[in-house]
Amino acid sequence: MSGRITFHFDDGHMSHYEQAYNIFRKAGVVGCLALSISCLKNNTRITIEQALEMQENGWEILSHSMNHIRMSTPLPVEVMVTEIATCKYLLEQEGFHIKQYITPMSECHESMIPLLREHYDAAFTVYKNSAEESVEQLVMQRPVQKYRLHRACLTKHSLEELKNYVDYVAENDSWLVFYDHDLGVGTNITAQMLAELVDYCKQKHVDIVTSSEALAQEKCTTDILLNGYNGTECWVHARAAVNGLQQMITAQKLDVTGMDCFGGLYVNCSTDGGHTWSGFHPDKALASIYRTVDEKNLRSVCCDMTPMYHHKTNKFLVTGHLTSYQVDNNRPLRERIERPTPYAVYDMERGCFGEVQYIQLPETSTYYATGSGCCQCAELDNGDILIPITFQSKDSGEAMHTQVMIVRCSFDGESLCVKEISNTLDVPDEQRGIGECSVVVHEGKYYLTIRGDNHGYVSVNDNGLHFTQPLIWHWDNGEILPTYNTQAHWIRLRGKLYLVYTRKNGTNDHVFRHRAPLYAAEINTDTLSVIASSEFVVVPERGARLGNFGACSIDDNTALVTVTEWMQPKGCEQYGSDNALWLTQVI
């Protein structure tokens, strides 16, 4: 354990250059200087030349607004642009390298977050009362929310109190950001105390780093793209696909007064790596589909959809599953009917998905009700796609018992064509069967994670078509991984394979089926077990379930996990959930 501490010095006081800068230079460490345009125009404050010197010697310069006005309430758009965007532009014109923003008084109205996201990599926007809150509350909570960061003020604290903070950081491998203003003025920290505090950090082997350096060392950082709950409907099934700077998120709305009462698919796109988004808009092709099955007039909706980027054809496509309703109501049809597996291809020029198509499986009663809901597909080197499909035969009687197979399809940029079908996987002990699989190719092998009511399962093979009998997921010490009745997905990072999942943890009994928080952990591919010591939280628990999520790779070293807080059952909001859509980047 070591931990990290960052020092911020706000408003460009001369004491920052004449005292803090020298203290840090003698100690061989660096800090951060938060500058507003108004303070740079103040003849009693630090000069541009002095600040540039500090930057040249490793200090990070942070944007601190144009006029240092309060931002805790909504502001006119032109004022927000001036305080957030123009400020950065002017600082960069002077030669400063600006990546992060600090709102004056550490206050920020939610309406300003999109503009901060557009122009900065991170922002400190949350106020914490250092005199009243514990050190556990003052250190950064993981995963770190990069546009809702906070700081701990050095003012009014004794040196011993501050040393206790350092001790906590060292013992818990935490990240804490200290800040202050003019050294030695009023109750602000003095230069002597600052020098002793810096020396103590070094004694405790706590790294003193800039904000950007600290963020780069975090295992994952997260962002809330949207939030807000009206009590009647919520966003669900948020999943992403990525092609470089192009990112796509699909999601749909759920009527919370019923169960599985889905609306059509919405699409949200970014062309700059997630800094700006188009906003969710309904996709006409993936709205309600009216069809007649067994003489029943039905309204069907493509749901549980997962987008993917297909490298060989440079196309985005989405696969999933059909839920059907009687035309005159909004309740799912529970009886078994013929159900094909839907997919659609995104038209980049038109900015929408094309007509819904269906995977053409062999005409047999075995593949009567099929779907690829909540499944993670895998593209092979030749462009073929492995698609997990859950199915139920027409002859299986009244009992609902699903099985799983992997379908290998070619894709020409317009249509999927079935080439091969794997062996059938089944777990007889699971009364309702198994489903919602995710497949990944890693170091020449094919891995499958599978949902069951009682357990999560794993299977593997060497060719993508002959999988082993599913095994219950275990920790690396042999104990059963306490995950059940929800999906899991894969991510690959730096040559290692990780599983993303939910589980019982002893403190989440209030969460539906223990579906929060979201965890990730490295997999021991030799023993097909989850390495407990590698586990970390990807999305925090706030009462709502997080089991219906997505995971995809950005590149070989970065992955993206997306999920919305599913606002059922009623009352989950009392723990803080508000239908937030979380985007977590894992490195």
Number of domains comprising the chain: 2
Same domain membership, residue 239 and residue 202: no
CA distance 587 to 213: 14
Answer positive or negative: Cα dihedral of 246, 249, 250, 252.
negative
CA distance 144 to 566: 21
> Domain boundary at 217, 247, 269, which?
217
Same domain membership, residue 174 and residue 231: no
Question: Do the domain assignments include residue 523?
Answer: no
Same domain membership, residue 65 and residue 36: yes
CA distance 584 to 145: 9
Of the pLDDT bands very low, low, confident and very high (cuts 50, 70, 90), residue 398 is low
C-alpha gyration radius of the chain: 26
Question: Do the domain assignments include residue 103?
Answer: yes
Question: Do the domain assignments include residue 529?
Answer: no
Question: Do the domain assignments include residue 528?
Answer: no
> Domain boundary at 192, 217, 242, which?
217
CA distance 409 to 398: 31
How far lies 246's CA from each of 277, 537, 554, in Å?
A: 10, 26, 10
Hey, is 90 helix, strand or coil?
helix
Domain that holds residue 255: 220-510+536-586
Same domain membership, residue 209 and residue 228: no
CA distance 154 to 348: 51
pLDDT, average across residues 492-497 = 96
Directed axis angle between helix 191-203 and helix 159-172, to 10°?
30
Q: State pLDDT tens for residues 449-475.
A: 999 999 999 999 998 889 999 999 999
Same domain membership, residue 555 and residue 462: yes
Same domain membership, residue 375 and residue 412: yes
Q: State pLDDT tens for residues 498-524.
A: 999 999 999 999 999 999 999 999 999
pLDDT, average across residues 275-292 = 92
Mean pLDDT for all residues in the chain: 95
Same domain membership, residue 210 and residue 82: yes
Question: Do the domain assignments include residue 155?
Answer: yes
CATH code for the domain in which residue 47 is found: 3.20.20.370
Same domain membership, residue 272 and residue 181: no
Question: Do the domain assignments include residue 516?
Answer: no
Same domain membership, residue 151 and residue 120: yes
Question: Do the domain assignments include residue 345?
Answer: yes
Question: Do the domain assignments include residue 515?
Answer: no
Same domain membership, residue 354 and residue 226: yes
Q: State pLDDT tens for residues 548-572.
A: 999 999 999 999 999 999 999 999 9
Supply the pLDDT for residue 367.
86
Answer positive or negative: Cα dihedral of 280, 285, 290, 291.
negative
Q: What are phi and psi of 54, to 5 degrees?
A: -60, -40
> Domain boundary at 217, 238, 269, which?
217
**Whether residue 399 has pLDDT greater than 70:** no
Q: How many CA atoms lie within 13 A of 109 on its CB side?
A: 13
Same domain membership, residue 273 and residue 195: no
Parallel/antiparallel/unpaired status of strands 289-293 and 220-226 = unpaired
Supply the pLDDT for residue 297.
83
CATH code for the domain in which residue 230 is found: 2.120.10.10
| pTM, 2 dp | 0.95
Same domain membership, residue 86 and residue 14: yes
pLDDT, average across residues 313-342 = 87
Hey, is 117 helix, strand or coil?
helix
